[in-house]
Chain A
Amino acid sequence: MKQRLQITRYQILLNILPILSIVLFAGLWILVSSGEGHIIPSPGEVYDRAVRLFEKPINHVSLGGHIWASMKRVLNGLVFACLTGIPLGLLMGWSKTANSLLKPLFDLIRPIPALAWIPLMTLWFGIGESSKIALIYLGTLMPVLVNTYAGVKMIPQLNIDVARVFGASQLQIVKDIVMPSALSAIMAGIKTAVGTGWIVVLAAEMISADTGLGFMIIRGSNVADLALVIFAMLIIGLVGAFLSVLLTFAERKLCSWKIEIK
């Protein structure tokens, strides 16, 4: 009886702790944002700022417009990255010659962080859309390519042997064995790529843009409107989390046969 009582008490504690933590976090925020001459805006001020945002949009673009501007850039870059990265990854994973030829080049480029390309890309493509998309392409290509390559390399020899014994041609092996086997690795690569792309787009927009969530942050910072900055950060976090959930869902759908293999 005593044992059971202890277990329930422990369970209650476990359920209370997350709530306590959120309450403490909120309390801390209110504490640092109250009093004379506080720097950090209070939750109420952020809320008011958000409401005003709907009445008077920044740069004549609504909040949805800014979100979509950032997302569209990521999407554009990602599509190009997938269109080139997946075939290249498959090729490099499948053909030793292609790998020997291409790998040194990618090894040369890979250690350079995506954000370090910003000066060069803005110099080449100006500060408009194309330089941002080129940046996101550079940031997302590597995760897609590397994962596709690894996915192909990790295919069990047995799976390929099955196809060979039953008379599959090289092309059939790639289509019916390699692609489905590598699919979950490719999806993982796309997931990483979206995360990277989301960071790159913000950085690019913070450095030069007139739409997008990164622009919203930097605008808030430039006019000392920290409530706007915090609101933009909240939106960025929410959109990032949403994208990650969406991709996990897509992965489940596409690789449903894999769910119960751990």
Chain B
Amino acid sequence: MEERNKLEAAAGKLRFERRRERQKALLLGIISIFIFLTVWQMLCTLHIVGENVLVSPIKVIQAIWIKAGDTRPDGNTLLQNILSSFRLVLIGFGLALVIGLPLGLLMGWYRPLDKFIRPIFEIIRPLPPIAWIPIVIVILGIGTAAKSFIIFFTTFVPIVINSYTGIRETNQVYINFAKTCGYSNWRIFRTVGIPSAMPLAFAGMVIALGNGWGTLVAAEMLASNSGLGYMIFMGRSYGRIDIIIAGMLVIGLIGLALTAALELIEGYVLKWRIKEK
């Protein structure tokens, strides 16, 4: 009985220490964000920096609120811009997924295909997607197709590379086991190869979506008349700092939301995988 009490006391102390450590971390985090926002706000309200250089966080929030119903300066409301960007990224990413994922998996599994596609892939790979913009504009104009194509390029490469690497790293033991069960190569590919490749393939999708979202902003600055990238670019032209920072904030938040959504899907598809911490 005494033994039990001593153990409980020791554990209680450990729990207390752990909780205090967490509280300390949280508190420090809140303090640092608070200081950051306060300094920012002070810089603006005390007119240490001019209105044409920085606007206060409060004004940024106001700008988002106003922009929800206001089409100035770029001709679209915030929601229209969001939807426009969102649509492009989904088309480009969706296409890259539908083509890139099977291609990467098949290349990783069938060597002749690998040998055939690889040289072309290696030519395209080192080219930053935005370098394609001028050519794409000439062929496809500055509409949805052109920008989706740029996003397609951005997202295609990481998706192919990761699904390729993923299936290449399939544990040989599993393959051998399936072979001894008399499975055909195609059946092993489906039942052993693809599931083994999925964790890495998903990691590739997360990278791809992040890159795609980042590139979209540039594509919209270079050739567009709507979208979040266009919005902050116009904000720059009209010297509207509040629109620029508000736009960056929205871009960041949507980027986070996209990644989170993908990870949610990953958690659902890859239920069997034990998440290591």
Chain A residues near B (Cβ < 8 Å): 13-15, 17-18, 20-22, 25, 39-40, 96-97, 99-105, 108, 111-120, 122-124, 198-199, 202-203, 206-207, 214, 217-218, 220-221, 224, 226, 229-230, 232-233, 236-238, 240-241, 244
Chain A residue numbers with a CB within 8 Å of B53 are 123-124
Chain B residue numbers with a CB within 8 Å of A111 are 251-253, 255-256
Alpha-carbon distance A108/B37, docked complex (angstroms): 11
Q: How far is the CB of B227 from chain A (nearest CB, A)?
A: 12
Q: Given contact pairs A111-B252, A229-B134, A232-B131, enumerate 19 new A-B contacts (beta carbons under 8 Å).
A: A17-B116, A21-B119, A22-B119, A100-B32, A101-B29, A101-B31, A111-B255, A113-B214, A113-B255, A116-B248, A118-B236, A119-B236, A120-B241, A199-B128, A199-B130, A203-B218, A207-B222, A221-B134, A240-B126
Say if the beta carbon of B273 comes within 8 Å of chain A. no
Chain A residue numbers with a CB within 8 Å of B135 are 40, 226, 229-230, 233
Alpha-carbon distance A199/B132, docked complex (angstroms): 12
Chain B residue numbers with a CB within 8 Å of A21 are 115-120
Q: Contacts A101-B31, A111-B256 given: A202-B128 contact, CB under 8 Å?
A: yes
In-complex Cβ contact of A101 among B32, B119, B134, B248 (8 A): B32
Q: Interface readout for B225-250 with A: 1 if CB under 8 Å, 0 if not?
A: 00001001101100101001101110
Chain A residue numbers with a CB within 8 Å of B64 are none
Cross-chain contact B236 with A113 (CB below 8 angstroms): no
Q: Contacts A105-B36, A122-B236, A202-B128 given: A218-B217 contact, CB under 8 Å?
A: no
Q: Contacts A118-B218, A207-B222, A226-B134 given: A105-B32 contact, CB under 8 Å?
A: yes
Chain A residue numbers with a CB within 8 Å of B232 are 116, 119-120
Q: Interface readout for B208-224 with A: 1 if CB under 8 Å, 0 if not?
A: 00100111011001100
Cross-chain contact A123 with B239 (CB below 8 angstroms): yes
In-complex Cβ contact of B33 among A108, A116, A207 (8 A): A108
Chain B residue numbers with a CB within 8 Å of A124 are 53
Cross-chain contact B127 with A117 (CB below 8 angstroms): no
Q: What residue in chain B is nearest A22 (Cβ atoms)?
A: B119
Chain B residue numbers with a CB within 8 Å of A17 are 112, 115-116
Cross-chain contact B119 with A220 (CB below 8 angstroms): no
Say if the beta carbon of B139 comes within 8 Å of chain A. yes
Q: What residue in chain A is nearest B113 (Cβ atoms)?
A: A17
Cross-chain contact A202 with B131 (CB below 8 angstroms): yes
Cross-chain contact A101 with B112 (CB below 8 angstroms): no
Chain B residues near A (Cβ < 8 Å): 21, 24-26, 28-33, 36, 53, 111-112, 115-120, 123, 126-135, 137-139, 210, 213-215, 217-218, 221-222, 229, 232-233, 235-236, 239, 241, 244-245, 247-249, 251-253, 255-256
Between B30, B36, B126, B233, the greatest number of chain A beta carbons within 10 A of the residue's beta carbon is seen for B126
Cross-chain contact B217 with A113 (CB below 8 angstroms): yes
Q: How far is the CB of B208 from chain A (nearest CB, A)?
A: 13
Between B130, B215, B221, the greatest number of chain A beta carbons within 10 A of the residue's beta carbon is seen for B130
Q: What residue in chain B is nearest A201 (Cβ atoms)?
A: B128
Alpha-carbon distance A123/B54, docked complex (angstroms): 10
Q: How far is the CB of B78 from chain A (nearest CB, A)?
A: 15
Alpha-carbon distance A203/B233, docked complex (angstroms): 13
Chain B residue numbers with a CB within 8 Å of A14 are 111-112, 115
Chain A residue numbers with a CB within 8 Å of B217 are 113, 115-116
Q: What residue in chain B is nearest A219 (Cβ atoms)?
A: B134
Cross-chain contact A244 with B221 (CB below 8 angstroms): no
Cross-chain contact A104 with B115 (CB below 8 angstroms): no
Q: What residue in chain B is nearest A112 (Cβ atoms)?
A: B252
Alpha-carbon distance A101/B233, docked complex (angstroms): 33
Cross-chain contact B130 with A119 (CB below 8 angstroms): no
Q: What residue in chain B is nearest A114 (Cβ atoms)?
A: B214
Q: How far is the CB of A69 from chain B (nearest CB, A)?
A: 16
Alpha-carbon distance A114/B252, docked complex (angstroms): 10
